[in-house]
Each structure stands twice: as structure tokens, then as C-alpha cells.
Amino acid sequence: MKSLRVAILVVCASSLAFAGDPEFHTIVKSIEHTYGVHHLRIPFLGVAMFFARPSGVHGLKLAVFEGFHSPDDTEAVRRVVEHSLGPEWHPFVRVLSRGKQNGETTLIYTNPTGNRMRMMIVNLEPSEAVVVKMDLSDDAIEKWLKEPGEEAEGHRHHQKVRDEDKERDRDKEHDQQMLAKE
């Protein structure tokens, strides 16, 4: 019975990271439909994001698409994203880094309403795409308004650290499985 309760908690927590947000859901579905990919179901993601969210950020939602092959023309992705988002979303920052193997594009849209700013970030790497939606606190908004380019760069850095952590976890899991087999 205890294990059932734990399982329910895990399922609920991981779905918290995705559910209840039609705009986020639409954009994820559009990417899946257009590029024939599926976002990863990451166990404990909701719990992890609750404890390890960046400062000044809440309502964080994340979808990771592995095996996403970024097209040469990222304009096409931009069109897909903008078509999915409504007119109340404003293109705010776009960062493009060129490189044969490590080219990266970050598209950032904002939806300012009342005293809060919602932000949608789409990060495209050669073999992965990430969609993040978040609500920013006043302090975080100030930072973004002062240095939008720098903040976008910072977000990309955090993304890389998260990717490295994820890879390390996967390696650890793989090692444990190998040991168990032996």
C-alpha cells in the first residue's frame, strides 16, 4: 500500500511539470507533430523542479525532445512556435550561435500581464530541443529587462549544466544496471 502511495505521488509530481497549461501543451504538441518527435517523460521532474527551480522563477514547465534534429533553417521552427503562441506573446530575444556541431538557437517570448511576466523559452540544439515556460518574479523581470541578451546566455548555460547532470544520472543508472546484471 505504501509503495502504491509513493507511485501515485511520483506520477502526480512528474505530470505537474506538464499539465494544466494549454499554451505550453500546444507548443509541445506542435513541435511533436511537425518534427515527429516526442518529449521525454522524466521521472521526478515535478519534484526536482519544485526544489531546484532558479531564483525568481515559479510555475516552471519543461519539455525535452531528444533526437530532435534541428533544421538548417531555424526560421521554420520560429514560425511553428509563433503560430502556436497567440498574439499576446511578444518575440523578445533571439540568440543564434553558429557552429557545425554546436550551433544553438534560443527563442524567447514574453506575455506581460498585470504585474507578472510569463516567459516561453525554446532552445534548439543540433540533437535536442527544450521548451521551458515560467513565471518571473519582480526581481527576475528587472534582470531580464536590463540585460536580455546576458540573461538568455545565462539560461543557455543553466540548460547545459542541466543536460550534463541528466547525462551523468543516465550513466550512473546504466552502471547500476550493468552491476545488477553481473
Partner 1 sequence: MSTKIRKLFPIILLLVVPCVLRAQDIKLPPDIESLSAKAKETVEVNMDGPMLRWASKFLSKEDPEEKEAAKLVENLKSIYVRSYEFTDEKAYSTAEVESLRSQFRSPTWSRVVGVRSEHDGENVDVFFRMEDEKMAGIVIISAEPKELTFVNIVGPIEIDQLADLGGEFGIPRLKTRPPSSKPLAKADKGDQK
Binding residues for partner 1, rule: CB under 8 A, are: 90-99, 110, 112, 115, 117, 138, 141-142, 145-149, 152
What is the C-alpha separation between 74 and 80, in angstroms, rounded? Answer: 10
CB of residue 146 to partner 1, shortest distance in Å: 6
CB of residue 110 to partner 1, shortest distance in Å: 7
What is the C-alpha separation between 32 and 75, in angstroms, rounded? Answer: 17
Nearer to partner 1, 3 or 115 (CB): 115
CB of residue 31 to partner 1, shortest distance in Å: 21
Nearer to partner 1, 138 or 167 (CB): 138
Nearer to partner 1, 45 or 107 (CB): 107
What is the secondary structure of 158-174 as a DSSP string?
HHHHHHHHHHHHHHHHH
Grid coordinates standing for 149?
A: 541578451
What single-letter DSSP state applies at residue 39? Answer: B
